[in-house]
Structure 1
Amino acid sequence: MEAIDNFYDAAGAAAGVHSSQLKLLTCFVLSYPLGSVFVRIPKDRPAMKHLFSIGVTLFFLWGMLKLWLGSLNVFGSALFTYFMAGRYRGKQMPWTVFGVVMGHLLISHWIRYMWPSDAVEISGPQMVLTMKLTTFAWNVYDGQQELESLDESQKETRIPKLPSLLEFFGYIFYFPAFLIGPSLTFTEYMALIDETLYKDVAPASPNSSKRVPVGRKRVAYQKLAFGISCIGFYALYGGKFNYTVTADDWWMAKPFWYRFLYTQIVGVVQRIRYYGAWSLTEGGCIFTGLGFNGFDKDGSTLWDKAANIDVMNIEFAPNVKVLLDNWNINTNTWLRNSVYKRLAPPGKKPGALVTMYTFMTSAIWHGIYPGYYLTFFLGGLVSSAARQVRTYIRPFFLPALLPPKSKVLPPPTLIKRVYDVLGTVACLVIINYMAAPFMLLELRPSIKAWTTLLWYGHVTVLGWLILGQAGGFRWLGKLVKARAEKAASKEAMKHEWWYFGRSAI
């Protein structure tokens, strides 16, 4: 092992990164051949599958990353959650788990903040663990409720019976997703183990017991190639196109239009490293058989259920909602199911305050650096502003009167396409501005970055919200309503006999 450590130390020094970062990348790549071993373990040997996954993860933690002490954090949070879920009933149980596990994560974040290092440490895997454990607690709680009180997603993920400790730790230590995700529910993991995930797929031949659909390797290797390409691109350009340039003297000497356009390039380059890491781990999950999502219209298998990003729907999102829904997908799902829905009053739609609480939970989950809170607080405002744009501006670019009971919009007109293009540009401009503190982390550099950009994001978002609260939304709402009523009146007139007579004159 010493020779391996020496190799990584030398490689890391040559690449200008900490050796543990290269070890982390190695763990991602190793998940591919190990996934091929995992998928070949017979479904009637579930204990072997659990033990294999646990063993690989412990090898990553201990053999590769040397996270001996950090492993105790994982075991501590996991055992506490399992004990609480097995011993206590009622809604206080998942909230207790949520508070304790998040508090434990915050301690790890505080240690990282006080003693910063480029080395890989346990807070990253612990973030994924927090999603799994809090989701598990809510799923056990849902398993105790009447089916009529649950929505469809809660019915699918509920856990009516506490699993064995081996099943639970197999889920917690599912190796391709342990280090940086994606997170998954316990029911998804067990469907992978017993292969009910492929219940609608016929075996390859009448005498074959293998049920894993074809196409798994092809898609996984595509993810591997894309992930490596993204990481390579970031290694070449990430140092140059970085938000830290906002502290350089040459930056302030440039005109605002230059700083504005440069920021848009920086935002894209900095996102690429996340695309790379998440694509690599998604491919590792697919190699184990996770991610199967049925068939497309041509009958080809789909393997996109373990995706944590949808690059096209991020870089070309027509609105903020689409962009946020396709960025860090599994974290968004966790926040929606474990925070947003749970904070909403029974029978009522969550309001702006619940949205803000959800964004702040995301900030706490990410860490204690001030930059996270600046980004996610603005994110809550952006989300509210985007919702108001969708309510009061978007209708003017759609037909005033849709066909009765129609849920499908007609083909977009030219003006609607222009609206979508402008929406895409606005999304990227706001997100690239909003991300600066998230990447800079500390308060002073974050404020300086926004100052050099003349606070254009805040001016735009707050200006729209203030204008709306001052009566703008009420006025726009009346225009939208009047437009619809006028269109409805014209539609009704077409059915009057005298209307056809006048139109013929």
Structure 2
Amino acid sequence: MDGLFNSLADSLGASVDQIKLIACLLVSYPLGSIFVRVPTVGLKHAFSISVTLFYLLGMLNMFNALMQLMLDILVTYYLSKGMTDKRMPWLVFIFVMGHLLINHTIRSLFDLSYETMEVTGPQMILVMKLTTFAWNVHDGRRPADELDKWQLERRVTDQKFPSLLAFLGYSFYFPGFLVGPFLEYAEYDALVSEKLFKSATPPPHLHDPSFVPQRLLPSGRKRVGYFKLVSGLVYLGLFVTLNGKFSFAQTLQPWFGRITLAERLFFFQIAGFFERSKYYAVWTLTEGAAILTGLGFTGYNEEGRTLWEGAANVRVLNIEFAENFKMLLDSWNMKTNVWLRECVYKRVTKKGTKPGFKSSMMTFAVSAIWHGVSPGYYLTFVFGGFVTSAARLVRSTVRPLLIPVPGQHTTSRSFNKKLYDWLGVVLTVMLVNYAAAPFMLLNVEDSLKCFSRVAWYGYFIVGGSLFFFNAGGSRALKKAQAKRVKDYQDKLAEEKEREKEREESINGTAYESESGSGISTPTTSEETHVMPIAELIAQELEKHSEKTL
């Protein structure tokens, strides 16, 4: 089998491990269709375990990695089952993260290429699964009124603690084992038991009520799954054919320094897309395979078509055309973002307090360690933190000046808002490319050389923005916001006053009479009837009541 992979690698100009990884992802498609036809829950667990063992031993020759991963799985299982102390999830977290950090360090010391498949790839996915499971079990032992919605829906009680076979099936869920998607145990249990599909019948107005489906599994699974397959192969083709010409590594070559700055900046943005296309490819391919097993079903749209969005790890269009950095981050490596939020950000926050600086920094540290020990990762994350801070300031100070003030109605965006949105798209993609370069180049020396070749534009944009906002820009913009709101309110008050005067001129003339204030309303050309204010108010109230009935 290795001979076939070697021949393919030579003909395609890729590494053998990359070819094997893609082969595993592609084989998962027909196996996913078999998985949904396995008759019992226990056999589904066994099927998933068997497929993953075939990948690790038969395809990737990773026996040593399998032994290490089994250690993490068994330690997590028995700690979660036998230790009821509140420290249990933290012990699991420290053990599996510490083990991952050791392997990241070994990989760095041996200077292994990112193209080399070894234990850290699947271990990163497994760490998310195991730590989440430990917290789910901990939540299952807490009072329900202490839990938020996410924790309550995913908790694992002692009464429903899985068997070892079920836990191995969860840990070795084959479509997502090598590169994701990560999923919680409750989601896996709902998948294999088909509880995930019990709401699969569309609303009555969207189908014939007399129709009884032959299977519980909703339709549309193959339509979406194979669309993901085609999309993933397109991204893979783009990466294989063009990444060699358009990559961040090319910025280090002598020829790159000889072209104009404008050409360098343009090339840099193109390279960023092709660097991302590798991740688009593997995440889209694995999403499609997961969908074929039934994972990711999220209900129906208004037309009654099934939605399969729960297994997504990336939203490509939201990244390439993100109007702001938050939108981009929410659409990239989405499952990891959920894990960091639920298992780190919320958990390090003391009960009764809101997450703050400490929670953010702890989450940043865990994210960095989880990715690896290469210095380039830390350059990326530190810069990303500053970009996020600058983006929040822009959103809170500049954006309110370009959208309608509270209470103001408009049918379309203003030219300034459209300009703001398009500038946001351009700047967001430029900054994410700048941030991603060290992530791909890995070391500080190459990263700084790359930055110098593109005139350090990311540091100038973000640093200049932060300086402006902290040097009085935020204060001035917030004053402008307040003035804009006040001007609008004054305008409304003037319009109401004019409307009141107009109504008075139509309905009658206000005057003072001996009997008190009143409104004179013409009845005929020769007489005037005086209506007291109390009667006028009562009449207006009656009119209002009639309108609302």
How many residues are aligned here? 496
C-alpha distance in structure 1 between counterparts of 2:318 and 2:232, whole Å? 17
| Equivalent in 236, 261, 265 of residue 260 of structure 1 | 265
Which range moves more in the overlay, 108-117 or 421-430?
108-117
> For structure 2, which runs of at least 5 residues remain unmatched after alignment?
203-207, 506-549
In the TM superposition, what is the alpha-carbon distance from 1:498 to its structure 2 partner?
Answer: 7.6
Secondary structure, counterpart of 1:342 in structure 2: coil
Q: How does 1:108-119 map to 2 (within 5 A)?
A: 108-115=103-110, 116-117=112-113, 118-119=115-116
C-alpha distance in structure 2 between counterparts of 1:131 and 1:76, whole Å? 15
Give a deviation string over 1:393-447, Cα, whole Å, max 9, x none.
11011112236xx9xx964333222211111111001001111000101111011
In the TM superposition, what is the alpha-carbon distance from 1:14 to its structure 2 partner?
Answer: 2.6
Which range moves more in the overlay, 69-78 or 347-356?
347-356
Corresponding residue of 2:399? 394
| Equivalent in 109, 117, 121 of residue 118 of structure 2 | 121
Corresponding residue of 2:492? 491
Corresponding residue of 2:289? 284
Identity of aligned residues (%): 46
In the TM superposition, what is the alpha-carbon distance from 1:388 to its structure 2 partner?
Answer: 1.3
Which range moves more in the overlay, 339-348 or 7-16?
339-348
Corresponding residue of 2:534? none
Question: Are the structure 2 counterparts of residues 367 and 191 from structure 1 closer, same or farther at C-alpha, using a change threshold of 3 Å?
Answer: same
Q: How does 1:75-90 map to 2 (within 5 A)?
A: 75-90=70-85
Which range moves more in the overlay, 269-278 or 195-204?
195-204
TM-score normalised by L of structure 2? 0.86
Confirm whether residue 33 of structure 1 aligns to residue 34 of structure 2.
no
Tell me if the contact between 1:356 and 1:380 (Cα under 8 Å) persists in the aligned partners. no
Question: Are the structure 2 counterparts of residues 397 and 349 from structure 1 closer, same or farther at C-alpha, using a change threshold of 3 Å?
Answer: farther
| Equivalent in 134, 140, 144 of residue 141 of structure 2 | 144
Question: Are the structure 2 counterparts of residues 402 and 92 from structure 1 closer, same or farther at C-alpha, using a change threshold of 3 Å?
Answer: farther
In the TM superposition, what is the alpha-carbon distance from 1:225 to its structure 2 partner?
Answer: 0.8
Q: How does 1:300-449 map to 2 (within 5 A)?
A: 300-402=305-407, 411-449=412-450
In the TM superposition, what is the alpha-carbon distance from 1:489 to its structure 2 partner?
Answer: 3.8
C-alpha distance in structure 2 between counterparts of 1:72 and 1:501, whole Å? 85
Structure number with higher relative contact order (C-alpha < 8 Å, ≥ 6 residues apart): 1
In the TM superposition, what is the alpha-carbon distance from 1:288 to its structure 2 partner?
Answer: 0.4
| Equivalent in 214, 237, 240 of residue 235 of structure 1 | 240
Question: Are the structure 2 counterparts of residues 126 and 480 from structure 1 closer, same or farther at C-alpha, using a change threshold of 3 Å?
Answer: same
Corresponding residue of 1:182? 181
| Equivalent in 12, 15, 30 of residue 15 of structure 1 | 12
> For structure 1, which runs of at least 5 residues remain unmatched after alignment?
none
C-alpha distance in structure 1 between counterparts of 2:362 and 2:455, whole Å? 28
In the TM superposition, what is the alpha-carbon distance from 1:353 to its structure 2 partner?
Answer: 4.7
Question: Are the structure 2 counterparts of residues 322 and 7 from structure 1 closer, same or farther at C-alpha, using a change threshold of 3 Å?
Answer: same
In the TM superposition, what is the alpha-carbon distance from 1:494 to its structure 2 partner?
Answer: 4.0
Question: Are the structure 2 counterparts of residues 38 and 480 from structure 1 closer, same or farther at C-alpha, using a change threshold of 3 Å?
Answer: same
Q: How does 1:99-110 map to 2 (within 5 A)?
A: 99-110=94-105
Give a deviation string over 1:212-261, Cα, whole Å, max 9, x none.
01111111111111111111111110111011112111111222221111
Corresponding residue of 2:514? none
Question: Are the structure 2 counterparts of residues 411 and 297 from structure 1 closer, same or farther at C-alpha, using a change threshold of 3 Å?
Answer: farther
Structure 2: which amino acid aligns with 1:335? L
Corresponding residue of 2:277? 272
Question: Are the structure 2 counterparts of residues 213 and 285 from structure 1 closer, same or farther at C-alpha, using a change threshold of 3 Å?
Answer: same
Confirm whether residue 59 of structure 1 aligns to residue 54 of structure 2.
yes
Tell me if the contact between 1:356 and 1:377 (Cα under 8 Å) persists in the aligned partners. no
Question: Are the structure 2 counterparts of residues 472 and 351 from structure 1 closer, same or farther at C-alpha, using a change threshold of 3 Å?
Answer: farther
Question: Are the structure 2 counterparts of residues 471 and 503 from structure 1 closer, same or farther at C-alpha, using a change threshold of 3 Å?
Answer: farther
Which of structures 1 and 2 has the bigger CA Rg?
Answer: 2
Structure 2: which amino acid aligns with 1:187? A
Tell me if the contact between 1:355 and 1:380 (Cα under 8 Å) persists in the aligned partners. no
| Equivalent in 154, 157, 166 of residue 154 of structure 2 | 157
Structure 2: which amino acid aligns with 1:189? Y
Structure 1: which amino acid aligns with 2:306? T
TM-score normalised by L of structure 1? 0.93
